[in-house]
Every structure is written in structure tokens, then in C-alpha cells.
Structure 1
Amino acid sequence: MTRHVLTGGLIAGLIAGLFAVLLQLTFVVPLLLEGELYETGARVHFGTGDPKSIAGSPGIIAEDVARHAGTLAINLVSWIGFAILLMVGFALASRSGHRIDARKGTIWGMAGFVAVTLAPAMGLAPELPGTIAADLQARQIWWAATVVLTAGGLAALAFGRSPLAIFAGAVAIALPHIVGAPTLDTYLGVSPPELSAQFAARVLAVSAAIWAVLGAAAGWLWIRSPAV
């Protein structure tokens, strides 16, 4: 069982990680780089600047190559980890009599998207460089609590067999947002709000697509190689 979980998680994570890099380089990174132009002052909102003086220099091009390599490595490690967690969930569900396939794996993947990305984004939206935010540690604690409570709440809603379990799941999902994420008293930032909104939307859309692919791949691998 352990070998099955690790092997399936490795393959599914590699598939999702490579897909993630493709989508991020196409849709997310260009906005991220543009946001950095505002952060460094090469561009000014409602002002003038000379972005070519920074974006076109050889040092920045070399830096981008190194960054993209780092993006690849981080994505592969992260999505392999998520895939292994999904496989562990599949194993537990299978022991309870639930059949896992590619379709149900996709549903599990979208649940992962809700828990890890969508629910935290309701309080802490994806941010461009240069965005001023609340205390980092407080945001990390709220994010982690939101992920855990949302995942647990979704599990209770999906597998709970009593009204109390379903009610507890709904409360767990709502609790972080009732408490509220750490925020500042004012809005600060150097990037145009239109760019920030587009960045947040693309991050969420890309994440949803990656989680769907991860779940489908993990479910397909699970049913193709039954655990022994």
C-alpha cells in the first residue's frame, strides 16, 4: 500500500507539476514580472517610467532563467506532496468501501483546490509584488488554520453520516471567515488595481485547472494499479 501511494503520488505530482509550470509561465509570470516593474519604480501608476531600462538588461534575463528553474523545482516538489496526500486520502476512502477512479479523483482534486487555494483567498487574495500586507506570521497562521479546517469540513460533509457531522463540517468551513483574516486598516500598493485583480483571477483559475488535472491523474493511476 505504501509503495502504491508513493509511486502514484510521484507520477501524478510530476504530471501536475509540469502542467503547473506551463500554465504559470503562460498566464501568471508575465503579470508577476509586470508587477515587479511597478515595485521597482520602472513603471509608475498614473505616471511615466522606462521599463525597458530594467526589463531588457542581460542581468535580468539571466535572473529570469534561474527563477524559472526554481519555479519548476518548487512546483514539482509541491505537487508531488499534494499528490501523495491525495493518494493517502484514496487509501483511507478505499478501506471504507469507496471506489476511486479518474472522475472521483477530479472531484477530490477540486476539493483540494477549495481547501488550499479558494478558501484562503477569500481572506488573503493572491498579491502582486509591492503589495503591503498584515503581519506575515499572523497571515501564515490564519492560512494554515483555514486549510486544515476547510479540508476537515469538506471531509465531514462528504463522508459524515449524521446531521451533527454535517453541521460540524459546515461550521469548520465557515469559522476562519467568521474570525477573519489579518488585514491592514488601509489599502496600500504601487500596482494598478486592474493588474492586481487580473493577477488574482489568473492565479485562482490556474490553480483550479492544476488541481483538476492532479485529481484526475491520481484517480486514474489509483484505479489502473490497484493496491495490494
Structure 2
Amino acid sequence: MFTRIVTSALFAGAAAGLIAALLQLYFVQPVLLHAELYETGALVHFGGDAVSAHQDVGGIDPLRDGLSVLFTMLVYTGYALILVAAMAFAENRGHVVTARNGIIWGIAGFAIVHFAPGFTLAPEVPGVAAADVYDRQIWWFATVATAALAVWLIAFGRNWLAWAAAVVLLLAPHVIGAPEPDQFTGPVPTELGALFAARAFGIGAVAWILTGLFAGHFWRREADREA
């Protein structure tokens, strides 16, 4: 069982992470590099001459891009390990896991890791005002943990009490609120921040759906081999 979990997760995470990394390099990295020009003062949003919204943010940096690809693959391999372990637990309770319903698992993963915390603490570009990073990390981990438990209760709960508890768990972190800075200031145009958040969510959704799809596929393939 352990070998099956690790093998499925490695293949699924590496494949989904590679695709996610390539999408990030094409769609997200140019936005980050553009934002860094405002963060460093190379461009000025207010109080200076008007600048083009279509900036040349430089060429390819092989080392930086390579490390970004490797890191993303490692991250999604870690996500895949958690996802496949949950799939194994569910299958032991009588639920059949396939590539097709693995997509649902992937959507759930996106909702837990990206959408739930991002609903209040949105992805941020460099240079924007932000609260203390330690406080934000605590809130993020707490939100992901409560969202994971809530999704599990929604999927496998057997009565209205479990589903009501799930709703409370989903809402609680946002009712409490994420840590916020004293003032919302920063040199980066809000348009760049909005574009970054939208693309981060979009690529996160694609990556998690692929993770679920690949995890379900490899999990079922390994099961058929063992049969």
C-alpha cells in the first residue's frame, strides 16, 4: 500500500507540477517581474511620467526558471502525497477512486489550499502592503486545516449535523478575518495585483485538477497491476 501511494503521488505530482510550472513561467512570472520594477522604484505608478502597461521585463533567466520549475514540481508532489493518502483512506471505506472522480478530488484540493484562504487573503504581488508574515502564515494554515476538515465532512458526513459543522468551519476563519496592514499602500498598480491574483487562482485550479486526474489514474493503474 505504501509503495502504491508513493509511486502514484510521485508520478502525479511531477506531471502536474511540471505543467503548472510552465504555465506560471508564461502567465504569472511576467506579472511578478513587472511588479518588481515598481517595488524597486524603476517604475513609478503615481507622481511620475506615464508608463506603458506593456513593459519589457527582461529575457529568460535559466537558473531562476529552472529552480522555479523544480520547486513547483516538489510542491505538487507533496500535495499529491496528501491527496493519494486521502484517496487510499477513502478506498478503504469502500469508495472507488478513478481518474474521472480524481478530478473531483483535485477540485476539492484547490478549494482547500487556494480558494479558501485566498477568499480573504488574496495572492499578492511584491511591493504591496501586508500584515506580519508570521501572523498571515498562522491564519493561512488554520484556514487550510479547517477547510480540509469541512470538505471531508461534506464528502463523507452522514447527517445534517456534520454538514452544518462543515459550514461553520468554512466560514469561521473569514468571520474572524485575516491579518491586515494598518494602511493599504504600495507602489504597485492595483491592475497588476488583480491580474496576478486572477492568474494565480486560474493556474492553481488547473494544477489541482491535473493533480487529481493523474493521481486517480496512477492509483487505479497500480491497483490493477496488483490485482
TM range (shorter): over 0.9
Measured after TM superposition, the shift of residue 69 of structure 1 is: 1.7
Corresponding letter in the other structure for 1:42? A
Aligned counterpart, 1:41? 41
When normalised by structure 1's length, the TM-score is 0.92
Tell whether 2:120 aligns with 1:138. Answer: no
Aligned counterpart, 1:201? 198
Greater shift, 141-150 or 186-195, is seen at 186-195
Q: Is the 8 A contact 2:129 2:183 kept in 1?
A: no
Q: Deviations over 1:170-209 (max 9, x none)?
A: 1111111111100123211111111111111010001000
Picking from 54, 67, 70, the partner of 1:70 is 67
Corresponding letter in the other structure for 1:96? R
Tell whether 2:4 aligns with 1:4. Answer: yes
Picking from 82, 101, 106, the partner of 2:103 is 106
Q: Deviations over 1:64-93 (max 9, x none)?
A: 322212211211111111011111011000
Measured after TM superposition, the shift of residue 55 of structure 1 is: 5.2
Gap runs ≥5 in structure 2: none
Measure, in 1, the Cα distance between the counterparts of 2:14 and 2:24: 15
Corresponding letter in the other structure for 2:3? R
Corresponding letter in the other structure for 1:25? L
Aligned counterpart, 1:182? 179
Change beyond 3 A, Cα 1:42–1:48: farther
Q: Is the 8 A contact 1:113 1:211 kept in 2?
A: yes
Corresponding letter in the other structure for 2:24? Q
Q: Is the 8 A contact 2:101 2:216 kept in 1?
A: yes
The number of residues matched between the two structures is: 221
Q: Is the 8 A contact 2:107 2:209 kept in 1?
A: yes
Change beyond 3 A, Cα 1:50–1:167: closer
Q: Is the 8 A contact 1:110 1:211 kept in 2?
A: yes
Tell whether 2:120 aligns with 1:147. Answer: no
SS at match of 1:226: helix
Measure, in 2, the Cα distance between the counterparts of 1:193 and 1:90: 40
Q: Is the 8 A contact 1:109 1:212 kept in 2?
A: yes
When normalised by structure 2's length, the TM-score is 0.92
Measure, in 2, the Cα distance between the counterparts of 1:183 and 1:114: 22
Corresponding letter in the other structure for 1:134? A
4+ runs of 1 displaced by more than 4 Å? none
Q: Deviations over 1:31-63 (max 9, x none)?
A: 000000111111111424999xx955xxxx68x
1:119-138 to structure 2, matched below 5 A, reads 119-138=116-135
Measure, in 1, the Cα distance between the counterparts of 2:57 and 2:121: 29
Aligned counterpart, 2:83? 86
Tell whether 2:155 aligns with 1:158. Answer: yes
Identity of paired residues, percent? 45
Measure, in 1, the Cα distance between the counterparts of 2:90 and 2:106: 14
Q: Is the 8 A contact 2:147 2:170 kept in 1?
A: yes
Q: Is the 8 A contact 1:113 1:208 kept in 2?
A: yes
